[in-house]
Homo-oligomer: A and B are copies of this chain.
């Protein structure tokens, strides 16, 4: 089979040539960064005054990290490295969890972003012959305009449906034979129920692919979407600080998300010790922009957790792959020295059919040790029957979670409605250990 590819010259670039390109782009990026007072000061502190001071990619390690707080403190002007007149777009985060952040773009920045998204789209096998219905919000949210520009570059027939209005989404899909959609995984599940409520009771036969992103989700959820719609679903990774979508995307083979390494210099680090992680070892993704003029970011700590996938992808692309995002470093618990992500516990829990949707993760100190407890609601009928059924279930769930996070929790089973109703993931985690 011929592998579909947008930019073979770059996507199949041999590793050595790719790293040479990265070095050249890193020097350019340092030159842009040095135009901002923030980076001039910060780089001077480590003796970096000129782009030529970067002799090899290894020298990256001398550059200090940039954090979300740095970005927030620079609001609203941002870490702007060009004249304001050269800026043609800005996006801001919603600022729901603190001050918003802002990213400025030159026309060249937008062109480069669009090129990256076009690569992502074509890597999944989608092409200009597809009808692409973009079901994510347009405007300041980067997902909508990001995919829109990429799809237009590819030459797909773009239906800028934007988010919401499910009955109209369904009409558009049916009337225009939509073959590819872009949406959050939760919206696709909602859309499927809406389709099933219709008289026709089938999903549109033209649909072939979905691009899913913008919210953390499990492999279970992806499989569910694929089965319900009888389509292929591809994971998309991006974050507003790195333009938005177009950072990493799954190819046809779904062996992990290829990260475009000519545009982003990738590191995975332990969020506590800051030491580099080995392949397959989970840590925080750290990214350096390599093509962005208006808002260069050096060693930006994304807080997103993942690991590098080893080996080679059958597609032949030289750009390395990230595993699906496991959560955010903010969410990570350290239990007896082991990194535990609530999302992994959730995923393991949800595999048991007896388990409802409500649960609570609790960590407390017992003497010198941490104790992990998972409380979850299960079907009411279980409490009426044999007590051994319950203890077997407890053991099965505990074992499943141990396999996922390497810590065996104690399991408490509760009747439906007895746990507090939680809103959002944060509320499901209770860390009762004393803070030193």
A140 near B152: Cβ-Cβ < 8 Å: no
Cβ-based interface call for A90 (8 A) = yes
Cβ-based interface call for A405 (8 A) = no
- Whether A157 touches B90, Cβ cut-off 8 Å, given contacts A129-B85, A138-B162, A140-B162, is yes
Choose among B75, B76, B139 the residue that contacts A161 (Cβ–Cβ < 8 A): B139
Cβ-based interface call for A92 (8 A) = yes
Cα distance A107–B155 in the bound complex, in angstroms: 8
Q: Which residue of B lies closest to A163 (CB)?
A: B139
B139 near A89: Cβ-Cβ < 8 Å: no
- Whether A160 touches B76, Cβ cut-off 8 Å, given contacts A138-B138, A139-B138, A155-B107, is no
Contacts of A128 in B (CB 8 A): 85
Q: Which of A138-156 contact B (CB under 8 A)?
A: 138-140, 144-145, 152, 155-156
Shortest distance between the CB of A125 and any CB in chain B (Å): 16
Contacts of A91 in B (CB 8 A): 160
Cβ-based interface call for A372 (8 A) = no
Choose among B87, B138, B140 the residue that contacts A157 (Cβ–Cβ < 8 A): B87
Choose among B90, B107, B155 the residue that contacts A176 (Cβ–Cβ < 8 A): B90
Q: Which of A150-180 contact B (CB under 8 A)?
A: 152, 155-162, 172, 175-176
Shortest distance between the CB of A160 and any CB in chain B (Å): 5
- Whether A90 touches B144, Cβ cut-off 8 Å, given contacts A128-B85, A139-B138, is no
Cα distance A84–B91 in the bound complex, in angstroms: 33
Cα distance A140–B138 in the bound complex, in angstroms: 10
Shortest distance between the CB of A416 and any CB in chain B (Å): 37
Contacts of A88 in B (CB 8 A): 152, 155-158
Contacts of A157 in B (CB 8 A): 84, 87-90, 104
Q: Interface centre among A92, A128, A139, by most B CB within 10 Å?
A: A139
Q: Which residue of B lies closest to A86 (CB)?
A: B155
Cα distance A161–B137 in the bound complex, in angstroms: 11
Q: Which of A91-132 contact B (CB under 8 A)?
A: 91-92, 104, 107, 110, 128-129
Contacts of A129 in B (CB 8 A): 85
Contacts of A158 in B (CB 8 A): 88-90
Q: Which residue of B lies closest to A151 (CB)?
A: B88
B155 near A140: Cβ-Cβ < 8 Å: no
Contacts of A140 in B (CB 8 A): 159-162
Q: Which residue of B lies closest to A162 (CB)?
A: B139
Q: Which residue of B lies closest to A106 (CB)?
A: B155
Shortest distance between the CB of A175 and any CB in chain B (Å): 4
Cα distance A160–B156 in the bound complex, in angstroms: 23
Q: Chain A: residues with CB nearer than 8 A to chain B?
A: 75-76, 84-85, 87-92, 104, 107, 110, 128-129, 137-140, 144-145, 152, 155-162, 172, 175-176
Q: Which 5 A-B pairs rank lowest in CB-CB distance, beginning with the nearest?
A: A139-B162, A138-B138, A76-B175, A87-B157, A139-B160
**Extra contacts besides A107-B155, A138-B139 (8): CB < 8 Å:** A76-B175, A85-B128, A88-B152, A88-B155, A110-B152, A138-B145, A139-B161, A139-B162
